[in-house]
C-alpha cells in the first residue's frame, strides 16, 4: 500500500474541500460536492462558501434556499445541515437510524413517559403515535416550531412540548423555512418554522436506505474528505458497521496507509496533490466540515489545540488556517474581527492572514481587523 504522510493527507483534504484554491463552481455544485454544510447557526454556511468560492455572495445561497434547491434540516450526526434538496431526499432515509438513535436517548424517552397523576397509570406516549400526531398537526403546511410544541403540550399535559416537537423533527423529515435558514437570523431559533419535507419539495424521499445507498454515501464522502478510514466516515455520518460495506466495494477503492500505519481508503481514480503545494491563509466558520469530517483530525488540527476550538457544550469555534492547519480562532464583535493565534505566527503568515481577514470584512459586515498581542516570529 502507498504510505501517506500527514502533510499529504492535509493537502488532499484541502484540495477536495476547495481550501487549497477557491473554485469557480456554483454554490449548488460546491454544496453537492461537500454533501452537506453544518448549519447550527444559519450564517456559518455562508462564511464557509465565501472561503471556498470565487466571488461568492450571500444572495446566491439565499436564493437557493428560497427556491427550495437547498434545505436546512437535521441530517448528519442528528445535527442541522444545509444540503441540496436532491441529496436530502436521497440521504435522509439512509441516515434515519442515526436520528432515531438520538430520538431514543433518555432526554426524549423520559419526556414521553407518564409525567403526572393524570397519565401515571398509562405507559406514556409511544414514538410512532407522537410522529403521527405531529404530522397531523402540521397538515402538510409550515408551522412555527414553538406552535407545534404548544399544541403537543396542550394534548399531553405533564410533557415538555419543546422536547416532543424536537423528537418529531428527528423522527420524520422536516425542513426549516427560508426566513430562519438564511443569513441574518442568527440566534433566532425560537422563530424557526418547519414543514414536512415532502410537502415543501413536492416529492417524497427515496426508499429506505440500503447497501447501495451506503456505498454511494461512502463514495461521496471520499470525494470530499478522502483518503480516510472506516472510523472517519462513521464519525462524519453517525452510521455504524460501514466496514462491512467498504469490504464489498472491491476495486473501486484503493487502499493506502496513513501515519502510524492506519488503513485508509480512497476512490480508485482520485488524484492527490503534491504535498508541497502551498496552502493559503483561510478563515473558516464555526462547525466547518473540514474540522468535523474525521475521527482522527490530526491532518488538520493538532490534538493539543482541539480543546481551544472545541471547548465543550457542543461548540466548535471559528478558526483560521495557516499553511493548511488550524493555528487559531477568530471572532466578530461590534464590527471588529479579532484574530487569536494559539502561538506566535511568522511575520509573513501573520500578514497573509490579516490580508485574508480584511477581504472578509465586507462580507461579514465588519469594519476593522485586530490581532491579539502575540508577537510575530521572523
Give 210-274 as a DSSP string: -HHHHHHHHHHHHHHH-SB-HHHHHHHH----HHHHHTT-GGGEEEEE-GGG-EEEEETT-----
Query: Which is it for strands 263-267 and 319-322: parallel, antiparallel or unpaired?
Result: unpaired
Residue 45: enclosing H or E segment and its boundaries?
helix 43-50
pLDDT value for 211: 80
pLDDT value for 18: 98
Angle at 27 between CA 25 and CA 32, to 5 degrees: 90
If you ran DSSP here, which 8-state letter would residue 315 be given?
A: B
CA distances (Å), origin 333, targets 183, 234, 282, 339, 354? 17, 36, 19, 12, 17
CA distances (Å), origin 121, targets 109, 118, 124, 228, 321? 17, 8, 9, 51, 58
pLDDT in tens, the chain (378 residues): 789 999 999 999 999 999 999 999 999 999 999 999 999 889 999 999 999 999 999 999 999 999 999 999 999 999 999 999 999 999 999 999 999 999 999 999 999 885 544 444 445 689 999 999 999 999 999 999 999 999 999 999 999 999 999 999 999 999 999 988 889 866 555 578 999 999 999 998 887 667 899 999 999 999 999 999 999 999 999 999 999 999 999 999 999 999 989 999 999 999 999 999 999 999 999 999 999 999 999 999 999 999 999 998 889 999 999 999 999 999 999 999 999 999 999 999 999 999 999 999 999 999 999 998 766 665
Place of cell 483518503: 227
pLDDT value for 373: 72
Cα(177)–Cα(156) distance, integer angstroms:
26
Distant-in-sequence contacts of 345-354, Cβ < 8 A, 24+ apart: 345/374, 345/376, 345/377, 346/376, 346/377, 346/378, 347/376, 347/377, 347/378, 349/281, 349/322, 349/323, 349/376, 350/376, 352/280, 352/281, 352/322, 353/281, 353/320, 353/322
pLDDT value for 9: 98
CB 180 within 8 A of CB 42: yes
pLDDT value for 121: 44
Q: Tell me how crowded residue 17 is: count the other CB atoms within 10 A of its CB.
A: 24
Look at residue 368 and give its three-state secondary structure. strand
CB 180 within 8 A of CB 187: no
Partners of residue 268 on adjacent β-strands? none
CB 205 within 8 A of CB 93: yes
| Strand ordering across the sheet containing 2-3 | 2-3, 253-257, 263-267
Angle at 181 between CA 177 and CA 183, to 5 degrees: 135
Distant-in-sequence contacts of 7-10, Cβ < 8 A, 24+ apart: 7/275, 7/324, 8/272, 8/275, 9/227, 9/258, 9/259, 9/299, 10/275, 10/279, 10/299, 10/300, 10/324, 10/325
Cα(281)–Cα(156) distance, integer angstroms:
53
CB 36 within 8 A of CB 307: no
Cell numbers standing for residue 131 = 410522529
Amino acid at each position: 500500500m502507498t504510505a501517506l504522510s500527514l502533510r499529504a493527507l492535509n493537502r488532499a483534504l484541502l484540495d477536495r474541500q476547495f481550501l487549497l484554491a477557491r473554485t469557480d463552481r456554483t454554490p449548488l455544485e460546491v454544496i453537492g460536492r461537500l454533501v452537506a454544510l453544518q448549519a447550527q447557526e444559519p450564517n456559518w454556511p455562508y462564511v464557509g462558501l465565501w472561503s471556498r468560492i470565487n466571488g461568492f455572495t450571500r444572495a446566491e445561497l439565499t436564493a437557493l434556499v428560497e427556491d427550495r434547491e437547498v434545505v436546512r434540516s437535521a441530517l448528519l450526526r442528528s445535527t442541522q445541515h444545509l444540503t441540496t434538496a436532491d441529496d436530502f431526499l436521497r440521504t435522509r432515509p439512509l441516515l434515519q437510524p442515526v436520528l432515531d438513535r438520538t430520538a431514543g436517548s433518555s432526554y426524549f424517552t423520559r419526556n414521553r413517559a407518564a409525567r403526572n397523576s393524570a397519565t401515571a397509570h398509562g405507559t406514556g406516549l409511544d414514538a410512532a403515535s407522537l410522529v403521527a400526531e405531529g404530522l397531523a398537526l402540521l397538515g402538510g403546511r409550515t408551522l412555527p416550531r414553538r406552535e407545534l410544541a404548544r399544541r403537543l403540550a396542550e394534548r399531553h399535559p405533564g410533557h415538555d412540548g419543546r422536547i416532543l416537537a424536537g423528537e418529531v423533527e428527528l423522527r420524520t423529515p422536516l425542513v426549516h423555512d427560508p426566513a430562519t435558514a438564511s443569513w441574518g437570523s442568527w440566534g433566532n431559533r425560537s422563530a424557526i418554522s418547519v414543514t414536512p419535507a415532502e410537502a415543501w419539495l413536492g416529492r417524497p424521499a427515496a426508499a429506505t436506505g440500503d447497501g447501495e445507498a451506503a456505498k454511494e454515501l461512502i463514495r461521496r464522502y471520499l470525494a470530499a474528505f478522502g483518503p480516510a478510514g472506516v472510523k472517519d466516515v462513521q464519525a462524519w455520518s453517525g452510521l455504524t458497521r460501514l466496514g462491512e460495506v467498504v469490504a464489498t466495494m472491491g476495486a473501486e477503492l484503493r487502499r493506502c496507509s496513513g501515519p502510524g500505519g492506519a488503513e485508509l481508503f480512497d476512490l480508485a481514480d482520485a488524484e492527490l496533490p503534491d504535498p508541497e503545494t502551498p496552502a493559503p491563509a483561510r478563515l473558516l466558520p464555526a462547525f466547518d466540515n473540514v474540522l468535523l469530517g474525521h475521527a482522527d483530525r490530526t491532518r488538520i488540527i493538532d490534538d493539543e489545540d482541539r480543546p481551544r476550538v472545541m471547548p465543550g457544550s457542543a461548540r466548535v469555534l471559528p478558526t483560521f488556517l495557516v499553511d493548511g492547519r488550524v493555528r487559531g480562532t477568530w471572532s466578530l464583535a461590534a464590527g471588529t474581527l479579532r484574530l487569536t493565534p494559539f502561538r506566535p505566527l511568522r511575520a509573513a503568515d501573520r500578514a497573509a492572514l490579516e490580508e485574508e481577514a480584511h477581504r472578509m470584512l465586507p462580507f461579514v459586515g465588519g469594519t476593522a481587523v485586530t490581532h491579539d498581542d502575540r508577537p510575530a516570529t521572523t
